Chains A and B, each alone.
Chain A
Amino acid sequence: MSPEFHQTMQRRRFLGSSGFGLGSIALHSLLQAGTIPHQTGDPHFKPKAKNVIWLFMRGGVSHMESFDPKPALNQYAEKTIDETPYANVLDPEHFKDLRVVVVNDANGKQRTKIYPLQTGFKQYGQSGTAVSDWFPHIGSCVDDLAVIRSMWTTDNNHGAQVQFHSGRHMLDPRVPTIGAWIKYGLGSLNRNLPQFISMGPRFFDKRDGHYLGPAYDAVTLKIDPENPLDFARPEGEITAEQQRRGLDLTNRLNRLAAEQYPQDPVLEARIKSYELAFRMQTAVPDAMDFSKESGATRKLYGLDQKETKAFGEQLLAARRLSERGVRFIQIMHGDGAAGAWDQHSRLREKHSQLAMQVDRPIAGLLKDLKQRGQLEDTIVVFATEFGRTPGSQGSDGRDHHPFGFSVWMAGGGIKGGITHGATDELGFHAVENPHYVTDIHATIMHQLGLDPRRLEVPGHKRLDRDFGHVIHDILA
Chain B
Amino acid sequence: MRSLCVVAGLLGLSASAHADNAELYSEKIKPLLEERCYACHGALKQKGKLRVDTAVQIREAGVLDNGELIARLTSGDLDERMPPEGEALHAQEIEMIQAWITAGAPGPENEKPEDDPGQHWSFQTIKRPEIPPGDFGNPIDAFLAEKHNEQGLVPRDRADRTVLIRRLYLDLIGLPPTTEELADRRSYSAIIDELLANPHYGERWGRHWMDVWRYSDGYGLGAQLRYSQKHLWHWRDWIVNSLNDDKGYDRMILEMLAGDELAPEDPDVIAATGFLARNYYLFNRTTWLDNTIEHTGKAFFGLTMNCAKCHDHKYDPISHEDYYRFRAFFEPHQIRLDPIPGEIDFEKNGLPRAYDDDLEAMTYLHLRGNDLDPDKSKIIAPGVPEILADFALDPQPVDLPVSSWAPGLRNYVQEDHLAAADARLKEARGELAKAISGNALPLDTEPTPGKGFALTDHFDAERPEIWNIEGSGWRYQGGALVQLESTRDKQFARSMRPHPANFDLTVNFRTTGGDTYKSVGIRFDVTGGGRDAHTVYASAHAPGPKVQIAHTRAGQTSYPGTGRIARPVVVNEDYEMRVQVRDRLMNVSLNGEFLLAYQLPARNPNGLLELFAFDATAEFDSISVSPLAPETSLKESKNPAPKIDSKELTAVAEAKVAEAEIWLRTLKAKIAADRAGIAGKGSVNLGEVVRLKKEHAVAAAKVALLTAEAGKQAAAKKALAAAAKALKNPGNPTDYSPLRGSRKALETPEHKETDYAATYPKTSTGRRTALAKWITDRKNPLTARVAVNQIWLRHFGEPIVGSVFDFGRQTAEPELAELLDYLAMEFIESGWSMKHLHRLILTSEAWQRTSSNLNADPATLSKDSANAFLWRMNSRRMESQVIRDSLVHLAGELDLAMGGPSIEPTPDARRRSLYFQHSRDKQSQLLSTFDDAEILACYRRSESIIPQQALALSNSKLALEMAAKIPAAFGENLSTTEFAREAFQLILCREPNPSELAECVNFLNEEKDRGRLVHALLNHNDFIMIR
Contacts and interface: CB of A to CB of B under 8 A. Distances in A.
B187 interface: no
Given A1-B814, A173-B936, A232 B945 contact: no
A400 to B, nearest CB: 11
Interface string A223-247: 0000001111111111000110111
Interface in B454-475: 459-462, 473, 475
Nearest to A236: B960
Contact of A231 (B478, B806, B956): B956
Interface string B743-759: 00000111000000000
Interface stretch (A71-79, A114-122, A252-260): A252-260
A234 B810 CA distance: 48
B999 to A, nearest CB: 5
B948 A219 contact: yes
B411 interface: no
Interface string B338-377: 0000000000000000000000000000000000000000
Contacts of A242: 1007, 1009, 1012
Could you say which of A14, A28, A231, A269 has the most chain B C-beta atoms within 10 Å of its C-beta? A231
Contact of A250 (B816, B875, B1019): B1019
Interface stretch (A99-107, A137-145, A372-380): A99-107
A104 B945 contact: no
Contacts of A104: 749-750
B960 A234 contact: yes
A206 B921 CA distance: 9
Contacts of A247: 954, 1016, 1019
B635 interface: no
Interface in A77-108: 101-104, 106-107
Interface stretch (A44-52, A271-279, A402-410, A421-429): A271-279
B488 to A, nearest CB: 18
Interface string B935-974: 0100011111111111110111100110010000000000
B484 interface: yes
A387 B676 CA distance: 62
A58 to B, nearest CB: 11
Contacts, number: 281
B284 interface: yes
B460 A2 contact: no
Interface string A254-288: 10110111111011011101101110110000000
Interface stretch (B110-118, B499-507, B679-687, B847-855): B847-855
Interface centre among A250, A334, A343 (most CB of B within 10 A): A250
B824 interface: no
A276 B861 CA distance: 29
Given A1-B800, A336-B479, A262 B1007 contact: no
A259 B996 CA distance: 11
A433 B929 CA distance: 42
A6 B867 CA distance: 9
A245 B865 contact: no
Nearest to A278: B950
A269 B946 CA distance: 9
Given A103-B283, A246-B1016, A253-B999, A270 B1021 contact: yes
A246 B1012 contact: yes
A28 B946 contact: yes
B289 interface: no
Contacts of A6: 815, 866, 868
A204 B461 CA distance: 11
B461 A337 contact: yes
B875 A266 contact: yes
B contact residues, range? 35 or more
Contact of B954 (A102, A213, A252, A277): A277
A344 interface: yes
A206 B461 CA distance: 14
Contacts of B395: none
Contacts of A128: none
Contact of B955 (A103, A201, A231): A231
B86 interface: yes
B955 to A, nearest CB: 4
Nearest to A396: B572
B478 A350 contact: yes
B453 interface: no
A13 B866 contact: yes
A34 B812 contact: no
B460 A231 contact: no
A292 interface: no
A236 B477 contact: no
Nearest to B996: A256
B954 A235 contact: no
A245 B868 CA distance: 39
A20 B443 CA distance: 77
Given A249-B1013, A250-B1016, A264 B868 contact: no
B947 A214 contact: no
Interface string B688-725: 00000000000000000000000000000000000000
B865 A14 contact: yes
Contacts of B951: 229-232, 277, 280-281
A344 B956 CA distance: 42
A414 interface: no
Nearest to B936: A174
A253 B996 contact: yes
A257 B800 contact: no
A155 B907 CA distance: 38
A32 B945 contact: yes
Given A1-B815, A273-B950, A34 B943 contact: yes
B943 A261 contact: no
Contact of A59 (B478, B946, B1007): B478
A26 to B, nearest CB: 9
Contact of B944 (A28, A234, A280): A28
B1015 interface: yes
B416 interface: no
Contacts of B829: none
B934 interface: yes
B221 interface: yes
Given A256-B993, A264-B853, A267-B1021, A231 B945 contact: no
A340 B479 contact: yes
B461 A171 contact: no
Contacts of B473: 106
Contact of A32 (B479, B802, B942, B999): B942
Contacts of B1003: 245, 249
Contact of A261 (B475, B801, B852, B942): B852
A171 B287 CA distance: 7
A246 B947 contact: no
Given A27-B945, A459-B803, A249 B999 contact: yes
Contacts of B854: 259-262
B595 interface: no
B428 to A, nearest CB: 38
Contact of A235 (B877, B945, B960, B996): B960
Given A103-B750, A174-B936, A236-B955, 17 more contacts: A1-B814, A2-B813, A6-B866, A28-B944, A28-B946, A101-B283, A106-B475, A213-B944, A214-B934, A230-B952, A231-B952, A234-B960, A246-B1007, A249-B1000, A266-B1021, A270-B950, A343-B478
- What 6 pairs across the A-B complex have the smallest Cβ distances? A236-B960, A277-B950, A335-B460, A215-B944, A277-B947, A5-B802
Interface of B: 86-87, 221, 283-284, 287, 304, 307, 459-462, 473, 475-479, 482, 484-485, 512-513, 619, 748-750, 798, 800-806, 810-816, 851-854, 861, 865-866, 868, 875, 877, 907, 920, 925, 928-929, 931-932, 934, 936, 940-952, 954-957, 960-961, 964, 993, 995-996, 999-1000, 1003, 1006-1007, 1009, 1012-1013, 1015-1017, 1019-1022, 1025, 1027
6 contacts: A174-B936, A230-B925, A235-B960, A249-B1000, A277-B954, A346-B512
